Amino acid sequence: MTNKTILNKKNTTHQRDTHHIDKIKKRIEKHNIEQGNSERGKERKIEAEHYKEVIVKRIDGTFRHADDILQLAIHEGKSQIERPILGLLLSSVAAGMIIGFTVLAVAVITSIAGSTEGINRVFMALVYPLGFVLCILSRTQLFTEHTATAVYPLLDGTTDIAGALKLWVIVILGNLTGGFTISVLLNAAEPVIHAKEGYLLVAEHVLQYDSTSLLISAVLAGWLMAIGAWTILSTHSTSSQILCIYIATFLIGIGGLHHSIAGSVELFIGYLMSPEITLMTITPVILLALLGNAIGGSIFVALLNYGHIRGLNK
């Protein structure tokens, strides 16, 4: 074998090694982003010196520590706030359209059952999460998922209130635009779907409550959605994340609680299908639901989570 051949083999081996090292560095960088500068990250260094590595990995590999979840939530919120406006808007429009499939599923079940009460309510709740699962796993921007997400970096001092409000306004406008768009499409597809009775029954359910009841219902729904977003960050596996989404949205469905974006689609379709449902009727309901969802996600999740985790670390 000539010296030139040996040299070429050495160069090839060196290139492979360099490529492998680069891949390892990227994995380390990704891991560092997830760990951040959290208290749990510091604890791991101490644990690595005193305990068997396999024990630590088994504990931390299933669920993240609360401080790690908070670091991820802050990082996620900050990255969304810093996204280009057009990309954020388009993602929000997509989320509003995807949520329409939850309304489709619920309307079909309601049309078959003929009411929204009794055992029919359970069947409706079973299909209610479907659009949310698609929406969140597709990484589109849903307002109720990001009510708390925008507040975490605000509480942490890494963004200002203008940045958080900008995220909320863009996502809300995009979600409502997408919601109205899918409502028009579902209305046009009614000869195929045959769910008009279900759409109208669901719209009537959303409209039948007084302002106080509606606001409290929306607060609870916002709370559940923000808890769902928090628990998604607590686990690594996609199946666990789907379960987290499903549980949170099933509870919203079974409770008949008011989700502002899904509810707006329900009202938009009712408006398109019934002359008795007007824009003057549905607008206050949508605004009140948005307010309640924001309160539920911001105060009952973001503020309390940040307060108890950061408070424990002081």
Domain finish residue from 62, 87, 104 = 62
Enumerate residues 6+ apart whose C-beta is below 8 A from 50.
Answer: none
What helix, strand, coil percent values describe the chain, rounded to 5?
85, 0, 15
Half-sphere exposure of 171 (CA within 13 A, CB side): 25
Question: Is residue 132 located within the same domain as residue 261?
Answer: yes
- Domain total for the chain? 2
Question: Is residue 55 located within the same domain as residue 90?
Answer: no
Question: Is residue 198 located within the same domain as residue 74?
Answer: yes
Question: Is residue 177 located within the same domain as residue 79?
Answer: yes
10-residue block means of pLDDT along the chain (314 residues)? 52 55 52 55 60 46 75 89 94 97 96 82 94 93 86 88 93 98 98 95 93 97 93 87 95 95 97 95 97 91 79 60
DSSP 274: -
Describe the crossing of helices 39-50 and 3-35 by its angle, rounded to 10 degrees: 120
Question: Is residue 191 located within the same domain as residue 296?
Answer: yes
At 235 the three-state DSSP class reads strand
Question: Is residue 44 located within the same domain as residue 73?
Answer: no
Across-strand partners of 235? 63
Question: Is residue 92 located within the same domain as residue 236?
Answer: yes
Domain finish residue from 12, 35, 62 = 62
Question: Is residue 105 located within the same domain as residue 28?
Answer: no
Indicate if the alpha-carbon torsion angle 7, 9, 12, 18 is positive or negative. Answer: negative
Domain finish residue from 11, 31, 62 = 62
Question: Is residue 87 located within the same domain as residue 207?
Answer: yes
What is the CATH number for 102?
Answer: 1.20.1080.10
Question: Is residue 98 located within the same domain as residue 49?
Answer: no
Secondary structure of 34-80 in HEC code, one letter for each residue:
HHCCCHHHHHHHHHHHHCCHHHHHHHHHHECCHHHHHHHHHHHHHHH
What H or E segment, with its residue span, contains residue 139? none
Please state the pTM of the whole predicted model: 0.78
Question: Is residue 33 located within the same domain as residue 153?
Answer: no
Cβ(80)–Cβ(166) below 8 Å: no
Question: Is residue 85 located within the same domain as residue 190?
Answer: yes
Domain that holds residue 97: 66-312
